């Protein structure tokens, strides 16, 4: 799928980008080019050390910001596939710096779309978040707008052979700023700050997130929001898994934070199809394909009326022991209770 293709990853020095690069190099050794586009020179230099040019000549490093349309367009010359992972992601940071979040997450998304259209890119997949579903914080709201922009981009492609779609998933186990690395660090203090005893979240590994993007690249018609079927966990179970001997201090829900996350609302379900391993929310406005054409293409079926996909009503749950095994596998191989 990606052999002899040029791939650009915005935000390519982040947790997802690094795992995506690793996966491409393993699965598609004949990839033509991997362009890592980000504004962090230090993180790019660290990746360069891991993948030196004499062994990995297909890697390219572009310093640039998705806010900079001209630089982004320059980087997209000759590119076949764009994975858009760049974003301001921290909920509290977005609440305090709303204009900066809008410029990156919304204006940046629009720049990616226009650069892709201008440069003859064939496939674009944008990363979203469960917080974009019925958002209550600015980060989620900007990602919802971004999702809508990418879905609608399929309606302005004209005769261009290009497809835009989105992947949406929950908390990535072990990613920077996520709860498990935070708890691993805080257990040294003998006390874990927990927001609320009823809080739940979806859980996905970095590799499963990458696999979802690969699936979207290989199967999208354009306009879909792909959603994985993944387990939930209770925040108290994560605390018990990481540090059962630590005292728990309940500190309250932070501004802009939900008790439970959703990925598909009951209203979204009217346009949601079941693909087996994944769900896909179809675009509400599409001038390219009908609902029936999406169903046939994906060999899918509609979800039941009134269906919704929420972390608290999920049927698949992580156990405490299962979480410990996942921590060893995906976060810290030396982890012990």
Positions annotated as catalytic residues are: 131
The HSE-up count of residue 49 (CA atoms within 13 Å, CB side) is 6
Cα separations (Å) of 44 from 38, 55, 64, 135?
A: 8, 16, 11, 32
**Helix 15-27, helix 206-219: angle, nearest 10:** 60
Cα separations (Å) of 193 from 23, 176, 196, 197, 318?
A: 35, 18, 9, 11, 21
Cα separations (Å) of 313 from 171, 203, 226, 275?
A: 16, 14, 20, 20
Number of residues in the chain: 337
Question: Where would I find the H helices in the chain?
Answer: 15-27, 41-50, 69-75, 91-96, 98-102, 108-119, 138-153, 179-186, 206-219, 235-242, 291-298, 320-330
Nearest in space to 151 (alpha carbons), one of 132, 172, 131: 132
Token pair recorded at residue 316: 């698949």
CA–CA separation, 259 and 29 (whole Å): 43
**Cβ-proximal residues to 249 (8 Å cutoff; 6+ apart), any chain:** 191, 192, 193, 194
Burial grade of 12 (CB within 10 A; 0-12, 13-18, 19 or more): buried
Is the Cβ–Cβ distance between 17 and 11 less than 8 Å? yes
Eight-state DSSP code of residue 156: G
Q: Concatenate the DSSP letters of all residues of 65-99 into one string.
A: -TT-HHHHHHHTTT-SEEEE------HHHHHHSHH
């Amino acid at each position: 799928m990606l052999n002899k293709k040029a791939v650009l990853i915005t935000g390519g020095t982040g947790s997802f980008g690094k795992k995506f690069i690793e996966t491409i190099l393993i699965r598609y050794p004949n990839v033509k080019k991997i362009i890592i586009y980000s504004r962090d020179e230090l993180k790019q230099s660290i990746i360069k050390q891991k993948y030196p040019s004499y062994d990995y000549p297909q890697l390219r490093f572009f310093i640039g910001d998705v806010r900079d349309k001209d630089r982004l367009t320059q980087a997209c010359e000759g590119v076949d596939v764009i994975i858009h992972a760049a974003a301001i992601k921290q909920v509290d940071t977005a609440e305090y710096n709303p204009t900066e979040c809008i410029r990156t997450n919304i204006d940046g998304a629009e720049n990616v779309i226009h650069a892709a259209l201008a440069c003859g890119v064939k496939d674009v997949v944008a990363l979203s978040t469960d917080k974009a579903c019925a958002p209550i914080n600015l980060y989620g709201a900007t990602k919802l707008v971004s999702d809508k922009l990418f879905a609608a981009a399929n309606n302005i492609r004209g005769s261009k052979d290009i497809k835009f779609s989105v992947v949406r998933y929950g908390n990535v186990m072990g990613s920077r700023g996520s709860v498990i690395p935070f708890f691993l660090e805080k257990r040294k203090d003998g006390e874990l700050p927990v927001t609320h005893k009823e809080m739940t979240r979806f859980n996905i590994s970095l590799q499963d997130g990458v696999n979802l993007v690969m699936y979207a690249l290989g199967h999208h018609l354009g306009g879909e929001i792909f959603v994985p079927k993944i387990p939930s966990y209770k925040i108290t179970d994560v605390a018990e898994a990481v540090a059962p001997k630590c005292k728990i201090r309940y500190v309250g829900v932070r501004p802009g934070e939900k008790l439970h996350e959703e990925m598909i609302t009951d209203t979204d379900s009217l346009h949601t199809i079941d693909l087996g391993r994944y769900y896909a929310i179809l675009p509400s406005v599409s001038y390219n394909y009908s609902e029936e054409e999406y169903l046939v293409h994906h060999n899918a079926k509609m979800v039941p009326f009134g269906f919704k996909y929420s972390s608290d009503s999920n049927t698949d749950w992580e156990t405490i022991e299962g979480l410990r095994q996942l921590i060893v596998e995906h976060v810290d191989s030396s982890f012990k209770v």
